[in-house]
Structure formats: C-alpha cells, structure tokens
Amino acid sequence: MSDSTPLVEVKDLKKHFPVTRGIILQRKVGIVRAVDGVSFSIQRGETLGMVGESGCGKTTAGRTMLGLYPATSGSVTIDGEDILHARGKDQLAIRRKAQIIFQDPYASLNPRWSVNSIVSEPMRVHGLFASQKERAERAKDLLGLVGLSPHLLNRFPHEFSGGQRQRIGIARALASDPLFIVCDEPISALDVSIQAQVVNLLEKLQDQFGLTYLFVAHDLSMVRHICDRVAVMYLGIIVEVADRNELYEKPLHPYTQALLSAVPVPDPRKERERKRTILTGDVPSPINPPSGCRFHPRCPIAVERCKKETPEWREAAPGHWAACHLANG
C-alpha cells in the first residue's frame, strides 16, 4: 500500500429514481432519492464496508458507481479513470478493472449457460485470450482458485448448491483480472455454515491478488470481521465512516449506536445484560426525507436544531467522520 492515492474515489454520487404513476401514460409524481450525495474513497487493497438497513441505498450506491444504473450526478474514478463518463472502448477498459458479485446465488448466474460460458464471458468481452480453448483453460484455473473442481466446467448452475454458485460468481468476477470488486451482499442469502466459506475465500483472494473490495452488507458482525473501514448509510447518505474497531467501539452517530446495539450476540450471558437502544418507528420514505438531519425523527437524542439544520460532515477523530450535531469525538 505504498501508493497513497486511493484506487476508488466516489464524489457526491446521486441516484434518483422518478416515481411514476399511471399504467400507460406515466407521470412523474416524485423522486426516490435512493442515493443522495455520497462521497468516499477506497485505498488499494482495502475493504470498505457499507452497512445500513434495507432501503438505505447501499446496494443502489454500489451498483450506480459501476454504471449499472445511470447516475443522476457525481463522479466515480477507478484507478484514475472516470467510469461514469467514459464511452465505448474507454469504458470497456475501465469495466475490466471493476467487477461485481451479487447476493442471490440463483439469480446471479444465467441458468442457460454452462459454467465455462459464464466464467469466460468477461474474457470474451474484453478479448483477453485468442482462442476459446485458452479461455476455457483459464476458466479451469479460476475454478480451482475459488475451490471448485475444474472438471465441473461444463456443468450448469442448477447443478450447484448456493455456496458453490457464489464461488462461480466470484470466479466470473476474477476473470477479467479486476483491481476492484463490489461485493453486493454476497453472503446474506447463504446459510451460516456456508457464509464463512465464502468470506474466507474472498479474504484469500484479496491476499493473493491485492484486490480492493467494497463490501455491501447488512450483517454488522460479518462486516466487522472482513472490512478495514466501515461506512454507515442512512436514507441515501453516509452518516459515519471510520476504521472498523474505532467504529464498533466508539460509534459517534446515534444511528450507528442504535444499529450496533440491535445486533444480537451469540452469548446468552452477554445478551441478558445488554442495554439496547431500541429505535422507534421505521425508516422514513426516501421520497420525502426528513428535513435537517435525516435521522432526527427516530433519534433518541435529537434536539430542536436537528430538525432544521443539516449536520455538517466532519472529522471527529483522525479518520473518523460523522454527520451529527451532537457527536463529539
């Protein structure tokens, strides 16, 4: 990590979805501010965790930054190149460097394609090898790398279990020799006993190839385990970022505090003694986010000021950023 410029830089990324009504002639009646101005950077070889409740925009952020949804505004550079505004060949070249793995092991592999076609696709699209045979050889190597037997190359996804499918998805993501992988809730659909397999594999690959990850998840325990730094999202914005131990041990934002206190711990004695901050109510609609601090209607410590003023994004401790009027590091 001698290179101090970050591999990935996201600046003020916004993704708004229009809300339309009507079946045929659609009319815009509002905007879902799914991602509403998100900035962060990821160092080479680092894993940044992105956590939050469902609907907070973490998945949309991960997908928009790869251009899978057209961004409303903002910029994303990967290895110095702007992925959102590149076109044609340039865009293809950047796409090669950034890949994504998904949550649903059933929906993320084309059921009509053999493992070989799936894993070779990125090589084919990017013209990485001259012949199909060479690509198949490389696909075999990749299968070995993710812990699958290379002779399964000509099988189809439905023959594999969820965990095995997730490995195939990882092999596909590795096929174009990427620098950066967005892990879009890669383990949340898997059984506990399989989750550890996949997480260990991701870590092994990171060590081996110096990969950089954005790890989107809602499982805070797993995020603490795998990530170097963690960003907490709430209603389309990031409310807190810090190194993992700093964040989990000294959370500054009341939302992060509540989130952490809600995570159950597999230890009955500890559980009995724990004091929980139980948040009331649900996440408000991202169509009309609350004024001021977006968390104020659910915040246990909110004051009058929180309703009016949007809190400033500030560094409360070295490397520990939070957006809360009341947080002091």
Partner 1 sequence: MFQFILKRLAQGVVLLLIVSITLFLLMMEVGDPIATMGGRTVTRPSDRERLTRQLGLDKPIAVQYLYWLAGNDWTQIDTDGDGIPDKSGTRLGILRGDFGKSLVTKKPVTEMIAERIPNTLILMLASEVVTIFFALIFGIYSALKQYSTLDNILTTLLFVGYSMPIFFISLMSMYLFFILFKKWGLPYLPTVGMFDPEVGKTPLQVLWHMILPVMSLSVIYFAAYSRYIRGTMLEVLSQDYIRTAKSKGLPRRQVVYVHALKNAALPIVTVVGLDLPFLLGGAVVTERIFAWPGMGRLFLDHLSRADVSVVMGSLMLVAGAVVVFQILTDIVYAWLDPRIRYT
Partner 2 sequence: MTAQTTSITQLSADDLTAPPLSLWQLAWLRFRRHKLAVFGCVTLVLLLLYSFGGAFVRTEAYANFNDTSRRLEPPSSEHLFGTDSIGRDILARTIYGGQISLFIGFVAVFIETILGILVGALAGYYGGKLDAFLMRIAEALLSIPTILLLLVMAKFFGGKIPEIHIAGRTFSGSVIVIIAIIGATSWMYLARIVRAEFLSLKENEFILAARATGTSNFQIIFYHILPNTFAPIIVSSTLSVANAILAEAYISFLGLGVQPPTATWGNMLESSAKYLDSAPWLWFFPGMLILLTVLSINFIGDGMRDALDPRSRAI
Partner 3 sequence: MTSLLQVSGLRTRFHTPEGIVHAVNGISFHVNEGETVAVVGESGCGKSVSMMSLLGLIPTPPGEIVSGTAVFRGNDLFKKSEKELEDTRGREIAMIFQDPMTSLNPVLTVERQLIESLRVHLGFTKEQAQTRAVELLEQVGIPDAKRRVKDYPHQFSGGMRQRVMIAMSLSCAPSLLIADEPTTALDVTIQAQIVELVTRIRDSLHTAVIWITHDLGVVAGIADRVIVMYAGFIVEEANVDDLYDSPGHPYTVSLLAALPRVDRRRDQRLKSIPGAPPNMLIEPRGCPFAPRCEFALEKCRQKNPLLTQVGPNHTAACWVNPKTGALR
Chosen residue from 2, 4, 131, 193 binding partner 3 by CB under 8 A: 193
Longest dimension (CA), the chain: 67
Give the tokens for residue 251. 């959370």
Distance CA(153)–CA(259), nearest Å, equals 42
92 touching partner 1, by CB under 8 A:
no
272 touching partner 3, by CB under 8 A:
yes
259 touching partner 3, by CB under 8 A:
yes
Contact 226/271 with Cβ under 8 angstroms?
no
Shortest approach of partner 2 to residue 55 CB, angstroms? 17
Residue 258 interacts with, from partner 2, partner 1, partner 3, none (CB under 5-8 Å by kind) = partner 3
Distances from the Cα of 304 to the Cα of 84, 239, 293, 308, 326, angstroms: 39, 19, 11, 7, 12
SS3 245: helix
195 touching partner 3, by CB under 8 A:
yes
Residue 194 interacts with, from partner 3, partner 1, partner 2, none (CB under 5-8 Å by kind) = partner 3
Contact 257/220 with Cβ under 8 angstroms?
no
Shortest approach of partner 1 to residue 29 CB, angstroms? 7
156 CB burial (10 A radius; 0-12, 13-18, 19+): middle
Segment 10 to 69, residues that bind partner 1, using CB under 8 A: 21-25, 29
Shortest approach of partner 2 to residue 133 CB, angstroms? 20
> Cα 230–234–239 angle (5° rounding)?
55
268 touching partner 2, by CB under 8 A:
no
Residue 263 interacts with, from partner 2, partner 3, partner 1, none (CB under 5-8 Å by kind) = partner 3
SS3 77: strand
Distance CA(162)–CA(171), nearest Å, equals 14
Chosen residue from 8, 148, 231, 327 binding partner 2 by CB under 8 A: 148
Contacts with partner 2 by CB under 8 A lie at: 24, 63, 66-68, 91-92, 95-96, 98-100, 102-104, 107-113, 121-122, 125-126, 147-149, 151-152, 155-156, 158-161, 164, 169, 172-173, 176, 197, 200, 204
